[in-house]
Structure 1
Amino acid sequence: MLVVGIVLFALGLLFSIAWHELGHFTAARRFGVRVPEFMVGFGPTLFSRQRGETSFGIKAIPLGGYIRMIGMVPPAPGERIGRSRRSGPFQGLIDDVRADSARDIMPGDEDRQFWTRKPWQRIIVMFAGPFMNLILAAVLFVIVLMGFGIPTSQPVVSTVSACVVPASQATPDNRCPAGAPLTPAAQAGFRAGDRIVSFEGRTFDSWQDLQVAIRDASGTVPVVVQRPQPNGTVQTLTLYPKLIETQLLDLDSAQSGQPRYVTGSFLGLTPIQPVMRQTPAQVLDYTGQMFSNVVTSVAALPHKVPALFGAVFLGEQRDATGPVSVVGVSVIGGEVLASDQPVAEELATMLQLLAAVNVSLFLLNLLPILPLDGGHILPALWEAAKKRLARLRGRPDPGPVDMARLMPIAYGFAILIMLYGGLVIVADIVNPIKLNL
């Protein structure tokens, strides 16, 4: 089942990549740009089929995909495609980029090149790929949250911790060592099945809101609970919360890699988590929270390099919140399918994981660096701004941004991206993240 799960999730990733490229392809064709190639993967071609003027295929290395549009960069002003007479440390690279861009241009294609499209059209073409990932993520979230449902904490007690034990004194069987103090919940007489009707006189529909009230509570706290059936009696219990330090999960902590702690009240209660289908409003809230979490993770990527290096070369423990490659996330998908959860929960978890990957693809591809999609959008925005400014000043059109001159920077970023990706892949092989399922 582990192998089956890995294969299924890998196929889901390949579909996400193809779906992304379909966005670029559809928009490019819509604006009249000729697309000779539509490929999923890199390296040697395993399969290809010509359909119209486009060759569709699959390549050997499933770490991405691309569509090849003719005329991605404009020719140098006043020069034909080929070697220019200019010199410089990067001129050969720039000339090669221009020649490669013009490689598939045939007679009649002069007005079907990408660079000849208006800036807003080029922006749409480049944005369409990440946008398709966002659409796929939204559809998957709707299927999971409204179709399958997710474990949702309720203000009903599942278990009551018997005592307060420091992590250094915890026993394998979770028994209380001699002399360990009782938890506030055990002292107050909470039982499994108790529904919390009110806390400090306030009612709560969700455990998340109740958690905030618990963390801020102090002194003597009255709690009204309803005992489970058949009696269903209502009782008032008196709590004396205990202050502890708890880790604060925020953007600053994620970026710095240094956990921050706050002092909050602790009771020793665990809520029930029934699987519940969510409403459209809850889907929007959950998706927004997931989006925020992914933004936080993407912003923290540069700060994760030391931890990755330590996990690969120094045998340090792998950061469970760190970056994961295509290899690692496929293995995680396999572990989900190989777990002892009900089949519906396993499928929902895999779809939810795939949705999170697509949110990551959406955000990462919009970073304004070449060769990512955002690296093509930014020059188009700059070109549009220059054209408008020239028009307002009554000056001639300044022409397109010379993307070929940005290629040395693009190659530099591409090398950094490959090195980072390679480090993550190695980490996923020698020191993978494990799920506790």
Structure 2
Amino acid sequence: MDLIIKAAQLILGLSFLVGVHELGHMLTAKFFGMRVEKFSIGFPPKLFGFKKGETEYSVGAIPLGGFVKISGMVDESLDTEAMKAEPQPWEFRSKPAWQRLIVMLGGVIVNVLVAFIISIGLLWIVGEEDIRIEELNKYGIVAQPIAKEIGLQTGDRIKAVNGKEAVLFSEVAETLINENSSITIIRNGEEKVIPVPSNVLDKLAEKDASGFISVVYKYKVGQVIKDGRAAKGGLKAGDSILSINGTAVPYFHLLKGEFAKNKNNVIDVAIIRDKKESHLSIQVDSAGMIGIELAPIHVLQETTRQYTFLESVPKGIVNSVKVITDQIKAFSKIFRGELKASNSVGSFFSIADAYGPKWEWSHFWSLTATLSMVLAFMNLLPIPALDGGHVMFILYEIISGRKPSDKFLENAQKVGMVILLTLMLYAISNDAIRHLF
């Protein structure tokens, strides 16, 4: 069921984003009197469709994409025969360069506007949840292995991020993408500045990474795996674990630490069941697991900030633009060797995981807004066959006064398609390896 929900959100989210992107191309083309032959959400084979006026509208069987075919344009269809005829007034190639430029930017513009609208709407209707630093500092942070590597410790209190007094827990994430970052903490009453190395983001992207900093929370036994070590030891769903070998474990990170310390050992587990305390003997495996799933019980109070509509507009736009700036920063890290492409390039598997196994509409639309900005950014890359490639050639024409020949555009399109297919195969295979092995 989890897989079905992930797949459904993936298909719905991407189909929506591709649909509005191609709609941006189609509407601008029609506005300037260009003939739009086809509009498709999904790739062939065609499932169903209809024709209205000069345009055939259809839905393809492969839902992770779409296209618009505009007469007189060298595109992925490589319809070279149509380009041999004399240009017609309704064709893309017959229109002024500035009109063709707007048509090629139409998809990107609509994706950006969609992201703005969704982000503004979510802030206005749902608000923004976070944990205030003073709330977090009641218990201190839980430092995961990578955080411990750079000098953070469980129990540290956060005071500042990049030299600026921290207000919200989410601000810590800024240290992972920005350069020369630092986290100022209070430990045993002493203030320390912990530099954040530029390669931390790469380490966090590794398949087995367990995160950076997390919050303290309590737990209960949610599920005991059938025939697992915990089940054989007598542990049941709903039990409350008090201690491991006499060490109290009221919080998840303490429990996890005791399991890790007792790999391949038999442990004494004190539990409460039906208001009665009892002790169980359970074997821990070599990975520090006993075969249970834990249900978190949050002990920190989240803060939900509500925004008026007028407050939501600039905030939503800033949040959306930040997606692009973070993408640029991530690309720069790849070029500098601080972030491996294999750790940062994902495909449908990663997007489905990001949507998650639960259908929560606020999360669905939040991620869809983010992906809309990512789609806009990726489409603007100056690669032939992408919108950015077409924009590059049209800008060359505007600046130089010379239009590239149809033959040149055709060959550039072929090269661009090879580049895109190579990148897609790399992303999908890399993602598949990370998820399946």
Counterpart of 1:110 (choices 88, 93, 102) is: 88
Deviations 1:383-434 (A, max 9, x none): 12233xxxxxxxxxx5x3214313323322321221221232233334239x
Alignment of 1:342-361 (within 5 A): 346-361=360-375
Counterpart of 2:422 (choices 405, 419, 422) is: 419
Aligned residue in 2 for 1:428: 431
Alignment of 1:32-111 (within 5 A): 32-73=33-74, 98-101=80-83, 110-111=88-89
Alignment of 1:192-203 (within 5 A): none
Aligned residue in 1 for 2:405: 402
Amino acid in structure 1 at the alignment position of 2:380 = L
Gaps of 5+ in 2: 176-180, 207-215, 217-298
Contact map agreement 1:41 1:59 (CA 8 A) in 2: yes
Residue 294 (structure 1) aligned with residue 327 (structure 2): yes
For 1:6 and 1:384, the matched residues in 2 are separated by 43
Number of residue pairs aligned between Structure 1 and Structure 2: 325
For 2:333 and 2:195, the matched residues in 1 are separated by 24
Q: Compare the two structures and name the one with the higher strand fraction.
A: 2
Aligned residue in 1 for 2:352: 330
> What SS does structure 2 have at the residue aligned with 1:36?
strand
CA positional deviation for 1:100: 4.3
Percent sequence identity over aligned pairs: 21
Counterpart of 2:391 (choices 353, 359, 377) is: 377
Aligned residue in 1 for 2:110: 132
Distance 1:298 1:140, change over 3 A: farther
For 1:284 and 1:384, the matched residues in 2 are separated by 30
For 2:156 and 2:414, the matched residues in 1 are separated by 59
Distance 1:292 1:168, change over 3 A: closer
Distance 1:115 1:335, change over 3 A: same
For 2:355 and 2:378, the matched residues in 1 are separated by 21
Alignment of 1:22-41 (within 5 A): 22-41=23-42
Aligned residue in 1 for 2:221: none
Contact map agreement 2:182 2:194 (CA 8 A) in 1: no
Amino acid in structure 2 at the alignment position of 1:240 = E
Contact map agreement 2:156 2:185 (CA 8 A) in 1: no
Residue 239 (structure 1) aligned with residue 189 (structure 2): yes
For 2:60 and 2:104, the matched residues in 1 are separated by 22
Gaps of 5+ in 1: 75-95, 171-180, 191-195, 222-237, 259-267, 310-318, 338-345, 388-397
CA positional deviation for 1:153: 3.0
Aligned residue in 1 for 2:17: 16
Amino acid in structure 1 at the alignment position of 2:96 = K
For 1:120 and 1:169, the matched residues in 2 are separated by 51
Distance 1:65 1:101, change over 3 A: farther
For 1:18 and 1:133, the matched residues in 2 are separated by 10
For 1:423 and 1:119, the matched residues in 2 are separated by 35
> What SS does structure 1 have at the residue aligned with 2:133?
coil
Q: Using structure 2 for the length normalisation, give the TM-score.
A: 0.62
Residue 274 (structure 1) aligned with residue 303 (structure 2): yes
Distance 1:72 1:151, change over 3 A: same
Contact map agreement 1:38 1:67 (CA 8 A) in 2: yes
CA positional deviation for 1:141: 1.1
For 1:371 and 1:42, the matched residues in 2 are separated by 16
CA positional deviation for 1:115: 0.5
Aligned residue in 2 for 1:156: 134
> What SS does structure 1 have at the residue aligned with 2:65?
strand
